[in-house]
């Protein structure tokens, strides 16, 4: 198996707002300004009527970066700040972890939060693009059998139908849109043909609720499974 690209890695931490909230309360505008200035986001949310709410609204930031001395900048595609945690999207989960660690230190030291000392939980979502040595229908012979049955029944032309997507999940339905930090856990493990690539390339887009490295190891196991 060949890694073509790291697509994205998301690190999500969740905690109890009661445990982490500053003793003097949350100044929403100060929080927004601190995050915007520190991470240089191009896309900044608007608080609007959220100022009158007792709990922190969901604040989506886009296109920022973490700059630390003597290290290359880390691009931040998205940062979603909620009352019960934060989700950070970078190129890999290792990079997202660095941003989350910095985020915790920033809020605790400058805004009086108590995230580091809380019992927060960390989860991950990652996606990568790989090339298998063979197509999934060749790695798993039963899939080739299904392809042939479908092709013979519908078109009568052998090889006219090919597997495009496999998805595995523990929940009955994966959310088409993430509306809360809890929804990330419900995402499927997906292996699908890379759009725009010829079938002969055996190139696949793969995603799962794992770290980037764990997803790589999972796909290596799948490719190496006995037929």
Per-residue pLDDT tens for 114-142?
999 998 999 999 999 999 888 877 777 78
Please report the pLDDT score of residue 176 as a whole number: 66
DSSP 48: G
Please report the pLDDT score of residue 205 as a whole number: 94
The stretch 38-59 carries a mean pLDDT of 73
The stretch 196-202 carries a mean pLDDT of 81
Contact 82, 50 (CB under 8 A): no
Q: At what angle do helices 28-39 and 93-111 cross, to 10 degrees?
A: 130
The stretch 137-159 carries a mean pLDDT of 80
Which residues partner with 124 through β-bridges?
A: 11
Contact 148, 137 (CB under 8 A): no
The residue count for the chain: 227
The stretch 90-117 carries a mean pLDDT of 94
Question: CA 1, CA 140: separation in Å to the nearest integer?
Answer: 15
Please report the pLDDT score of residue 93 as a whole number: 96
pLDDT at 51 over 70: no
Domains within the chain, CATH numbers bracketed: 9-123 (3.30.310), 125-224 (no CATH)
Q: What share of the chain is helix, strand, coil (3-state, %, to 5)?
A: 35, 30, 35
* pTM of the complete model: 0.87
pLDDT at 53 over 60: no
DSSP for 86-154 reads EEEEESSHHHHHHHHHHHHHHHHHHH----TTS--EEEEEEEEEEE-SS-HHHHSHHHHHHHHHHHHHH
């Amino acid at each position: 198996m060949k890694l073509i690209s790291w697509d994205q890695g998301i690190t999500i931490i969740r905690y109890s707002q009661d445990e982490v909230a500053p003793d003097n309360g949350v100044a929403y505008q100060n929080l927004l300004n601190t995050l915007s200035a520190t991470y240089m986001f191009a896309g900044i949310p608007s608080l609007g009527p959220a100022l009158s709410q007792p709990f922190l609204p969901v604040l989506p930031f886009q296109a920022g970066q973490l700059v630390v001395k003597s290290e290359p900048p880390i691009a931040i595609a998205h940062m979603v700040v909620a009352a019960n945690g934060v989700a950070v999207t970078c190129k890999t989960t290792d990079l997202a972890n660095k941003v989350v660690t910095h985020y915790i230190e920033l809020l605790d030291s400058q805004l009086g939060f108590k995230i580091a000392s809380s019992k927060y939980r960390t989860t991950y979502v990652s996606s990568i693009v790989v090339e298998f040595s063979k197509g999934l229908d060749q790695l798993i012979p039963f899939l080739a059998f299904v392809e042939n049955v479908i092709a013979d029944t519908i078109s009568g032309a052998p090889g006219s139908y090919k597997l495009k997507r496999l998805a595995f999940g523990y929940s009955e339905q994966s959310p088409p849109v993430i509306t809360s930090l809890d929804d990330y856990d419900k995402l499927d493990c997906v292996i699908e043909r890379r759009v725009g690539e010829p079938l002969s390339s055996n190139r696949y887009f793969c995603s799962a609720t794992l770290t980037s490295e764990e997803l790589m190891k999972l796909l290596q196991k799948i490719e190496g499974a006995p037929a």
